[in-house]
Amino acid sequence: ADPSADQSSRLLRAFFAARESPAWDVTESRIVSDDKDAIQAAVTEWTAVGTGVDLVITTGGTGFAVSDCTPEAVKPLLQKEAPGLVHAMLAASLSITPFAMMARPVAGVCNSTVVITLPGSPKGAQENLSALIKLLPHACIQAAGSTSSRALHSGGIPALEKQAGIARSPEGVENLPPSVHHHRHGHHHHSHPHPHVHKPPKPHTANTLGASVTRRHRESPYPMLSVADATAIITKETSLGAIVSHPVSAALVGHVLAEDVTAAESVPAYRASIVDGYAVLHTDGKGIYPVTSISHAAPGPTAPLHSGQIARITTGAPLPPGATAVVMVEDTLIVETTADGTEELTIEILASDLHSGENVREVGSDVTAGAVVLRTGATVSGVGGEIGTLASVGRSHVKVYKKPTVAVLSTGDELVQHDNDTPLQFGQIRDSNRPALLSAIAAAGFPTLDCGIAADRPGALETALRGALAAADVVVTTGGVSMGELDLLKPILEQSLNGTIHFGRVAMKPGKPTTFATVPLGTAKKLIFALPGNPASALVTFHLFMLPALRKMLGAVPHELPRVSVVVEQDIGLDSRPEFHRAYVAFGPADGRLHAWSTGGQRSSRIASAGGANAVLCLPARDSVGDKRRELGVVPSGESLDAILWGQVGVWTGE
């Protein structure tokens, strides 16, 4: 009777408008009288084949009053009834009020559209809808006949079934006959203006390749993941590299062993002297003895030693057979030389209480043949200990996990090679991401492949990506993953490369549009990190997401970068997103703690914020912290924060 009194419709529209990821688009609402034919006419129109409406909800007319006839009107239109939805609504309402016993909702599918009858009371309607809302995206996708994440870019049903749910079917409005199309966007109940009357119609495709800019998404269809969830997905999708045989050489450094290494031979392989001095029979004791032979650390036979004789010997040289101990030269005196004074003839042994084996390295006393000297999972460090151990037991090759080769591709028409010496044209910038990432990846020990710059055109991007995928195990791109009409990475990954986008947005600063995908290629599954174009965002997300994944492929345990507690030496401002604030971390000898300083302006375009940084401070979102920090909007100087280390910590010299 009075449309302005329609509370339920307003509340339900607000309910849908408040939901993001997935977003719902309420395209039309209408008031009809409690008349079975009028109700059926409206529902039939909206659920007709080809309209693309995913969901029709009614509110009102579900009770016991004489005029209540909504269930009677809707039920015969349903080709499939959904008693489960009805059950969920009733259960939710019954937990709130016993009057729910008198509700008579129906729910089901008509053509490709889900239809639900809600009660008329604003509160009841919202309670019932809340009970179903999590499941509705999935229900709509099923009803629309699409189950694949690929529909995201091909027709408007969002990815990730469990989270999805834009109120559209794959047919999309563009396929409608003109009359219906006109109706969908032209006909509105007079007192219920179209909710998007001030905006162009919502697009039904996310940067569909070849579609015009007017059809791009105005809200990202990708759910916003937490950093932890995004990390977990990457870890799950990342597998150990293949096991390969690698020469024991400097190039082995940084690899992780894929076998237990046993010693094929004993070290030492002969009884060797630990000191420079004289080999003796320990039972002979103090006294003057003739030097009857000489043993140097060199291959070759050594004459046997008998009681009453001694042999001059150097460190590491083989003991003459029969010798049982070695006396250091410092514990002897020279008694007699040859006439020309160049050779020793007799020596006085001053040491007493010699025991058998004194100053002797027995066979296998450093390493016994057959013993394990290095275990699977050991990292061959640059310290040299592992290479030295492998060399000492005679290994020429060892099994390791293959290091992934990483291809680096920059995208963007504005980019020029950094060392191009012609002056920049208006609108050009130098490509800083590629040299920065190539260096960071190489410094972390991974082989790299420079794939240059790809233009912001689907064909060029696809060709560049295919080349990178064919040549490398992991591909990293920068740019083209946000909301611009030339942000083409996501649609190309899905539509052209048959890839799966595992996530396309992360709740973090910088790095919000960080995208992670896998692409099947033959029997292999290649990883693609499509990082944001902003230079600081690219470096932060590389260290946070990609470097740990590369380390996992390598076999490193743990594969995460070290996380430590630091004392901040300045107030550090908090953002509404969890932030990774570039910082310099140094050890303070005075208090034995790690201290941190900001690298200055943190805007994601400012690559200098990563200059001098050896860590990022892990700042919680402002709203998530305790009262004091929230009020101040800062973590005050002197307080502690977690930091993720990117490089070696410095030492605080007090300056």
Ligand X SMILES: Nc1nc2c(c(=O)[nH]1)N[C@H]1C(S)=C(S)[C@@H](COP(=O)(O)OP(=O)(O)OC[C@H]3O[C@@H](n4cnc5c(N)ncnc54)[C@H](O)[C@@H]3O)O[C@H]1N2
CA–CA dist 327, 358 (Å, integer): 8
The residue written with tokens 């240059």 in the block is 452
Name every residue whose Cβ is closer than 8 Å to that of residue 248 and which is 6 or more positions away in sequence.
387, 390, 391, 395, 396, 397, 398
483 binds ligand X (CB under 6 A): yes
| Cα dihedral: 369, 375, 381, 387 (round 10) | 20
Q: Is 578 in the site for ligand X (CB under 6 A)?
A: no
C-alpha 364/C-alpha 371 separation (Å) is 10
Partner from ligand MOO, ligand X, Mg ion, none contacting 478, C-beta within 5 to 8 A by type: ligand X
584, β-bridge pairs: 597
Residue 477 interacts with ligand MOO (CB under 6 A): yes or no:
no
Among 255, 512, 551, 595, binds ligand X (CB under 6 A): 512
Select from 636, 514, 616 the least CA-distant residue to 574: 636
643 part of the interface to ligand X, by CB under 6 A: no
For the segment 483-502, give every residue that binds Mg ion (CB under 5 A).
484, 487
Residue 410 found at the interface with Mg ion (CB under 5 A): no
Residue 22's contacts (CB-CB under 8 Å, 6 or more residues apart) are 137, 158, 163, 164, 165, 166, 221, 223
Q: Which of 60, 108, 155, 412 binds ligand X (CB under 6 A)?
A: 412
Considering only residues 377 to 396 of the shown chain, the ones binding ligand X according to CB under 6 A are none
Closest separation in Å from C-beta 532 to ligand MOO:
5
Shortest CB 153 distance to Mg ion, Å? 17
With tokens 């060892």, the residue in question is 398
Asked whether position 458 contacts ligand X by CB under 6 A, the answer is: no
Distance CA 57, CA 118 (A): 7
Query: Could you say which of 482, 495, 496, 500 contacts ligand X (CB under 6 A)?
Result: 482
Q: Quote the least distance from Cβ 172 to ligand MOO, whole Å.
A: 30
Q: Are 585 and 652 in contact (CB under 8 A)?
A: no
Residue of 432, 445, 452, 575 that binds ligand X (CB under 6 A):
432
Q: What is the 3 state secondary structure string of 233-257?
A: HHHHHCCCCCEEEEECCHHHCCCEE
Site map 537..556 versus ligand MOO, x via CB under 6 A: x-------------------
Least distance (Å) from ligand MOO to the CB of residue 508? 7
CB of 413 to Mg ion, least distance (A): 12
Nearer to Mg ion, 489 or 554 (CB): 489
CB of 477 to ligand X, least distance (A): 9
**Residue 202's closest CA among 26, 9, 11, 55?**
26
CB of 462 to ligand X, least distance (A): 16
Min separation Cβ 104 and ligand X, Å? 45
* φ, ψ dihedrals at 500, nearest 5°: -115, 120
Please list, in sequence order, all residues whose beta carbon lies within 8 angstroms of the beta carbon of residue 47, skipping any fewer than 6 positions away. Answer: 53, 56, 77, 110, 111, 112, 113, 115
Is residue 479 a contact point for ligand X (CB under 6 A)? yes
Choice between 539 and 554, CB closer to ligand MOO: 539
Query: x/- binding map, residues 519-538, to ligand MOO, per CB under 6 A?
Result: -------------x-x--x-
String of contacts with ligand X for each residue 602-621, x by CB under 6 A = --xx----------------
Confirm or reject binding of residue 445 to ligand X (CB under 6 A). no
DSSP SS3 for 525: strand
Alpha helices for 164-251 (secondary structure H): 178-186, 227-237
- Pairing state of beta strands 243-247 and 593-598? unpaired
Going by C-alpha positions, the residue among 23, 48, 79, 80 that lies closest to residue 173 is: 48
The residue with its CB nearest to ligand X is 533
Nearer to ligand MOO, 124 or 511 (CB): 511
Task: Summarize the chain as % helix, strand, coil (round to 5).
Answer: 30, 25, 50
Q: Which of 231/541 has CB closer to ligand X? A: 541
- Contact at 8 Å (CB) between 60 and 70? yes
Q: For residue 170, state whether it binds ligand X (rule: CB under 6 A).
A: no
Cα–Cα distance for residue pair 205/376, rounded to 1 Å: 49
Which region, judged by CB under 6 A, interacts with ligand MOO, from 167-175, 343-351, 381-389, 508-516?
508-516
CB atoms within 10 A of CB 355: 9
To ligand X, the closest distance from the beta carbon of 236 in angstroms equals 24
Q: Using CB distances below 5 to 8 A depending on partner kind, what does residue 412 bind out of ligand MOO, Mg ion, ligand X, none?
A: ligand X
By CB under 5 A, is residue 605 in contact with Mg ion? no
505 binds ligand MOO (CB under 6 A): no
Report if residue 202 touches ligand MOO, rule: CB under 6 A.
no
Within 592-611, which residues bind ligand MOO (CB under 6 A)?
604
Residues near ligand X, by CB under 6 A: 410, 412, 414-415, 429, 431-434, 478-484, 487, 510, 512-513, 532-535, 537, 604-605
Residues near ligand MOO, by CB under 6 A: 509-512, 532, 534, 537, 604
